[in-house]
Amino acid sequence: MSALGKITESCTPPDYARADYRAERYRMQRKTWELLPNRGRLTACCNALNTGPGDKGYATIRKVTEFTGEYCTFQGVMRCGSLWTCPICAPIVAKRRAKEIAHAIDQAHQKGQKVLFVTFTFRHQRNETLQDNLKAMSTARAKFWAGNPATRLKTRFGIVGRITATEVTHGEENGWHPHIHELIFVDQYADETELSNVFFDRWSAIATKCGLGTPIRERGVTVRHVCDSVEAISKYAVFGSELASTELTSAHTKQGRKGGRTPWELLRDATNGDKRSAWLWKEFAEAFYGRATVYWSKGLKDLYSIEELSDEDHLNGEDQELEQHQEVIKLYKFDLYLLRKYKARNGALQIAELLGERGVRAFLNQLLELDRAEREAYRKRLAAQFRNVQTRELIPTSALPRHALRMPALGRHSKTRSNQYVN
């Protein structure tokens, strides 16, 4: 039995639920590389060293300790920041965005303001493209909040600001269903029923002019009050109802209603081999490319003392926070190459959780030996192709293609690479 097998026998079982979820996200990420091969940052996500601020020339595996348990994750790797399409980066930024929104809600309640969760929808049909509906919906939203009528609306209900997010689901019966969620911060005396009626009348008129059809009264505009009770918020999350600080930012964990599927569910089905889901998800990725995930109205973050941070700032902040946790092992450029080649990122993290540094070194050593064996077999196959059939003599090494003999560089620490795999 190998040394790695001996160590495994005396280890504590891992958190399999977390490991399965993490493995699924890595599989989904690999599917995005296949569907969107021309997006370089997406294909390099978690597979290359971070060359931004704080670049150390290596990445690490860190053991994070939280009240829910311990787990391992990568730190110092490149993050693509593709929040619409990357199942690795999206949950990280969504979690931090949700904290900002929750802080704004708390601040609003402390100031005696009311927070309303408003959803704008419109009629849609199966034969309509997502790109066209998004363009018309964006135009309608811009017109809704523009001009003197919008100014009078803000004055009437004491609207101090809003947070906007766009969401979309797909149903086999009616096709794409994009809609708008807004958190609207209003005066505490604003009447919700009156606001709902006024909003619907204005939205219905604008949506019709923009070619979206006349919305249905019961669904065109829905208004709900956001309670500041922690217990109420947890109940909303459990029963799947729209929770402001969750639904606005966590579409990567949300499930569609009434047979509709979210983009992440489409990607999951595409990963499992559904070609139609793959085609639909690719349409979604192209339609939402370059769009903001969450929009704050001007001055709202300053009002609630929230720092202005980009998605990249959130990813870098998450990476810096990980430096406070225990380092398990350093990973260099060639290590990340091996983990990607053999689809072993989740395996490396599981071994780190179970066996620590010693186990990961043994695991990387096995991958290195496997890689060397494959390269040697490939070199021999190429040499056989150039064999002289008549004389049965091998062509001199100098006559072989250069790529048949070349091994990749092991990174800036190549001189010590071989010693780092020794237990």
Q: Does 332 share its domain with 225?
A: no
In-domain check, residue 86: no
- Judge whether 308 lies within some domain: no
Predicted local distance difference test score (pLDDT) of residue 11: 36
Q: With respect to residue 387, please indicate whether it lies within any of the assigned structural domains.
A: yes
> Would you give per-residue pLDDT tens digits along the chain (423 residues)?
333 333 333 333 445 677 888 899 999 999 999 999 988 888 889 888 987 766 788 999 999 988 778 889 999 999 988 889 999 988 888 888 888 888 888 899 899 999 998 999 998 888 889 999 999 999 999 999 999 999 999 999 999 999 998 889 998 888 999 999 999 999 988 899 999 999 999 999 999 999 888 888 888 999 988 875 343 333 333 222 222 334 444 444 555 555 689 899 999 999 999 999 999 999 999 999 988 888 999 999 999 989 998 888 888 888 888 888 889 999 999 999 999 999 999 999 999 999 999 999 999 999 999 999 999 998 888 887 766 544 455 455 555 555 554 555 544 444 444 444 333
- Which residue, 297, 313, 335, sits at the end of a domain? 297
Residue with tokens 């020794």: 422
What's the CA gap between 414 and 58, in Å, rounded? Answer: 12
Cα distance between residue 422 and residue 418, in whole Å: 8
Domain match, 134 and 223 both: yes
Q: Alpha-carbon distance 109 to 123, whole Å? A: 34
Report how far Cα 106 is from the mean position of its chain's Cα atoms: 26
Kindly report the backbone phi and psi dihedral angles of residue 94, in degrees, each rounded to the nearest multiple of 5, phi listed first: -60, -40
Tokens encoding 157:
């209900």
Question: Are the C-beta atoms of 207 and 215 separated by less than 8 Å?
Answer: yes
Query: Is the residue at 397 inside a domain?
Result: yes
| 129 and 65 assigned to the same domain | no
Please report whether residue 252 resides in a domain: yes
Q: Which of 353, 364, 359 is nearest to 410 (CA)?
A: 364
E-strand stretches of 289-370: 294-296, 326-331
Q: Does residue 328 share a domain with residue 276?
A: no
Same domain, yes or no, for 205 and 131? yes
Q: Which two tokens stand for residue 327?
A: 């380092």
Strands (E), 34-90: 59-66, 69-75
Is there a single domain that holds both residue 279 and residue 162?
A: yes
* 14 and 162 inside one domain: no
Q: Could you tell me if residue 314 is inside a domain?
A: no
Same domain, 122 and 150: yes
Residues 289 and 343 in one domain: no
Q: What is the pTM of this model?
A: 0.80
Q: 241 and 100, same structural domain?
A: yes
Q: What's the distance, CA 314 to chain centroid?
A: 12
Q: What are phi and psi of 114, to 5 degrees?
A: -110, 145
Domain membership of residue 306 (yes or no) is no
* Order of all β-strands in the sheet with 59-66: 69-75, 59-66, 326-331
Same domain membership, residue 372 and residue 343? yes
Q: Kindly state whether residue 304 falls inside one of the protein's structural domains.
A: no
Range of the domain at 57: 3-80+321-421
Question: Do 149 and 273 fall within a single domain?
Answer: yes
Biggest distance spanned by C-alpha atoms of the chain: 97
Number of domains in the chain: 2
CA-CA-CA-CA torsion sign (159, 163, 164, 165): negative
CA 178/CA 166 separation, integer angstroms: 7
